Amino acid sequence: MAADSIIEIKNLTKIFGKFKAVDNISFDVKKGEIFGLLGPNGAGKSTTLRMLSTLSKPTSGTAIIGGYDVVKHDTQVRKLIGIVSEKMIMYNRLTARENLWFFGNLFDIPHDQLKKRIDELLDLVQLTNFKNAQVGTFSTGMRQRMNVVRALLNTPQVLYLDEPTLGLDPQSSVEIREFVKKLNKESGTTVIITTHMMVDADLMCDRIAIVDHGKIVALDTSSNLKKTISGADTTILKLGIANLNSDLIETIRNLNCADSVTQEDDGHLKILVHGQEAFDNVIDAIRSKNGKISSMENLQPTLEDVFLHITGHQVRDSATEKIPMEHKRFGQQAQGRIR
User: What was the pLDDT predicted at 331?
Assistant: 42
Average pLDDT of the chain? 88
Domains 5-221 and 231-299 share a fold: no
* pLDDT mean over 279-304: 89
Confidence at 317, pLDDT banded by 50, 70, 90:
low
Average pLDDT over residues 194-211: 94
Q: Is 68 in contact with 76 (CB distance < 8 Å)?
A: yes
Domain 5-221 falls in which CATH fold? Rossmann fold (3.40.50)
% residues pLDDT > 70 (the chain):
91
* For residues 166-177, average pLDDT: 86
pLDDT of residue 212: 93
Please check whether residue 173 is in contact with residue 144, taking contact to mean a CB–CB distance below 8 angstroms.
Answer: no
User: How sure is the predictor about 66, in pLDDT bands with cuts at 50, 70 and 90?
Assistant: very high
Burial code of 54-80, b = ≥16 C-beta within 10 A, e = fewer?
bbbebeebebbbbebebeebeeebbeb
pLDDT more than 90, % of the chain: 59
What is the arithmetic mean of pLDDT over 85-108?
91
Fold of 231-299: Alpha-Beta Plaits (3.30.70)
Contact 66, 223 (CB under 8 A): no
Q: CB neighbours (10 Å) of residue 329?
A: 11
pLDDT of residue 172: 84
What is the domain partition of the chain in residue ranges?
A: 5-221, 231-299
Cα(162)–Cα(107) distance, rounded to whole angstroms?
21
pLDDT digits (tens, 9 = 90+) for 230-246: 665 788 889 999 889 99
Exposure letters 242-252 (e unless 16+ CB within 10 A, then b): eebeeebbebb
CA–CA distance from 29 to each of 96, 194, 229, 304 (Å)? Answer: 32, 14, 25, 23
Q: Is pLDDT at 330 greater than 50 in this prediction?
A: no
Residue 322 reports pLDDT greater than 60: no
What integer is the mean pLDDT of 283-290?
92
pLDDT on residue 6: 97
Does residue 208 have a pLDDT over 60?
Answer: yes
